[in-house]
Amino acid sequence: MSSVKIFSGSSSKYLSEKIASSYGKPLGGIELQKFSDGELSPYFTESIRGHHVFIIQSTFPPADNIMELLLMIDAAKRASAEKVTVVMPYFGYARQDRKDKPRVAIGAKVMANIIEAAGADRVVTCDLHAGQIQGFFNIPVDHMDASAIFVPYLKESISDGTVFASPDVGGTARARRYAKHFQVDMVVCDKHRKKANEIASMQVIGEVEGKDVILFDDLIDTAGTLCTAADILKEKGAKSVRAVITHPVLSGNAYNNISNSALDELITTDTLPLKEKLEKIKVLTVADMFAKAIRKIHDHESISALFI
């Protein structure tokens, strides 16, 4: 059987080092050259002929991260790697998964097309914005679930007074899965948007007075929805409001919004690097989960044991 070699794109090296350490193997050698105009040229500094190559890179802005990933895939294929598996802890452009209005692109499908065209044999990712994005690929996709990280952390703090919530109607399935696992009640925050990142109104469906509320979502961007939900839940009598979010995009005024909101704690993962540190933000690592997935994929074993 071919041996595993793990490489990292420049944007995810902070996480790749932890994944490689958990796996028990150092990161492979790769260098990224840049021309004076910004053009990228990554190259492997060691032989990968006949190896199963895992490339770790989240595709968050700027677009250079995506281009670097595509060039790394192509370089690996041209260097005679036996297989190239792309590990994308955060799959960028996943929010553009359908035509929600006329004459718009389906960005998630474009991403799937170009990753396949570059030569990837498999994709491993975590908590997609919509699970059906897996169907945009014609290659295997392992869709990891961050509940394996969050459930053990939350276990000690769940009580009879805990209520789970979704910050919008679209996330009810996610919150319902957690509520079913812990056997607690659930409420929904119904929001209406004027445009992207701008909320026009929000209502709470369900009873939260005197309850400890935990909000669940796949990602947090400007934190507008989450902070508005936390403020409204506190106004409705919630004793405390925490949030469990997989991907901390945190753009724009997100950090100020979180600091000034009624949110007591934001529990997230390290699929994306934080730009600032806040006392309210608790980061749990996904490194062990991805390291175990890499081992099982290479050994042709089922990864279902990694799911809760």
| Residues 230, 232, 234, 236, Cα dihedral to 10° | -140
Q: Which amino acid is at 131?
A: G
190 token code pair = 């119904």
Distances (CA, A) of 55 to 14, 40, 278: 14, 16, 30
191 labelled catalytic: yes
Amino acid at 255: Y
Angle 84-85-90 from CA coordinates, rounded to 5°: 140
Distance CA 216, CA 175 (A): 6
Exactly one of 5, 83, 191, 292 is catalytic; which is it? 191
Structure tokens at 262: 């009624």
Is 37 within 8 Å of 6 (Cβ atoms)? no
Q: Which amino acid is present at 213?
A: V
Phi, psi angle pair for 307, to nearest 5°: -105, 150
**Which positions are annotated as active-site residues?**
191
